[in-house]
Amino acid sequence: MTALVHTRDDLQPFLTGFANGTRGVVMTMGALHEGHLALLKQARHDCDLVVATIFVNPLQFGPNEDFDRYPRTLDDDLKLCAEAGVDVVYAPSVDEVYPGGQPIVKVTPGPMGEVLEGEFRPGFFTGVLTIVNKLLNLTSPNMAFFGQKDAQQLALVRRMVLDLNMPVEIVGVPTVRDEDGLAKSSRNRYLSPEERVTALALSRALFAAQDSARATEGASAVRAAASAVLDQAVATGGLTVDYLALVDPRDFSEVSPEFSGEAVLAVAARVGATRLIDNLPLTLATPGAR
């Protein structure tokens, strides 16, 4: 049975009860879906104790973003957590997480957090890293599980753990997609049926780029393959692209045309009023290499 607690005091007995076991945490903002379920199941496989956190973090929403309308579905979330075998759900209040009000001391992401999502959502990654740091302190895990869908976030969390010597292993879990290719996201529920069809351009662009990479056509051709799909969707109407970037996963800098090795192709776009992100890890070879 999955327990629900709202305070660190009530969570503490679960943590001390597994002091000699492996403790895992999956951090969420609720509105759980199959992508979260994959994280929870991986944690259940790897850990003796699984804690899921549900907290809609005000610190990572900008003034014109969707904090107030972000879906809050705690009862349904608890059912999904129980299905995944979660031991305890920690769903704290804002006052519990930020007892002094708006925090004065925050975790800043540095240059890697100022590009792509960081450029389009100023302060977003400061909010993300601050809450991840706090929840790691509150839940004391040995392992923390994050989705590859939020690739820049995953890279920054790994860098924070490395730079701050934090005693936790960060585990990345592959993106979960619907049968039509759309990456699972809590914001997909905002899409109308027509908008959902438009949104498929994101995954189609990534898969076109993947085909190009497998044909060893090089970074420029990979970008061009994805751009062609997005440009067609933009011309049709309903899609506005924020960015398409082929980056080095170590620092999220754009790769050169001569680059070879592991890369990430990341895209962000607006479909109607809904902003979606997606990405795909790619292996780039020297153009024409066999």
What pLDDT does 64 receive? Answer: 76
The pLDDT of residue 175 is 96
Is 167 a domain residue? yes
Residues 145 and 250 occupy one common structural domain? no
- In the numeric block, which tokens belong to residue 57? 């973090």
Domain CATH number, residue 165:
3.40.50.620
Are 162 and 231 in the same domain?
no
pLDDT digits (tens, 9 = 90+) for 224-235: 999 999 999 999
- Look up 36 and say whether it is catalytic: yes
| Same domain for 223 and 198 | yes
Asked if residue 248 and residue 127 are part of one domain, the reply reads: no
Q: Is residue 290 part of a domain?
A: no
pLDDT for position 142: 97
- Tell me if 72 is assigned to some domain: yes
Structure pTM?
Answer: 0.93
* Whether 265 contacts 206, CB under 8 Å: yes
Count of Cβ atoms closer than 10 Å to residue 241 Cβ: 17
pLDDT at 216: 84
pLDDT at residue 289 in the model: 58
Q: Determine the pLDDT at residue 224.
A: 97
**Residue 37 to residue 166: CA distance in whole angstroms:** 26
State the catalytic residue, choosing from 6, 33, 36, 45. 36
Is 215 found in the same domain as 89? no
Decide: helix, strand or coil at residue 95: helix
- 246 and 157 together in one domain: no
Classify residue 181: in a domain, yes or no: no
Q: Is residue 82 part of a domain?
A: yes
Q: Classify residue 288: in a domain, yes or no.
A: no
Give tens-digit pLDDT for 191-209. Answer: 999 999 999 999 999 999 9
- Counted domains in the chain: 2
Which DSSP helix (H) or strand (E) runs through 81? helix 74-84
Q: Could you say which residues of the chain have pLDDT below 50?
A: none
Per residue in 12-47, is it b (16+ CB within 10 Å) or e — as a string?
Answer: eebbeebeeeebbbbbbbbbbbebbbbbbbbbbeeb
Residue 245's pLDDT is 98
Residue 127 within any structural domain of the chain: yes
Asked if the structure places residue 191 within a domain, the reply is: yes
138 and 276 in a single domain? The answer is no
For 260-290, the DSSP string reads -EEEEEEEEEEETTEEEEEEEEEEE--TT--
Q: Of 173, 205, 235, which one is at a domain's C-terminal end?
A: 173
Whole-number pLDDT of residue 132: 98
State the pLDDT at residue 61: 87
Please give the residue range of the domain that contains residue 139: 3-173
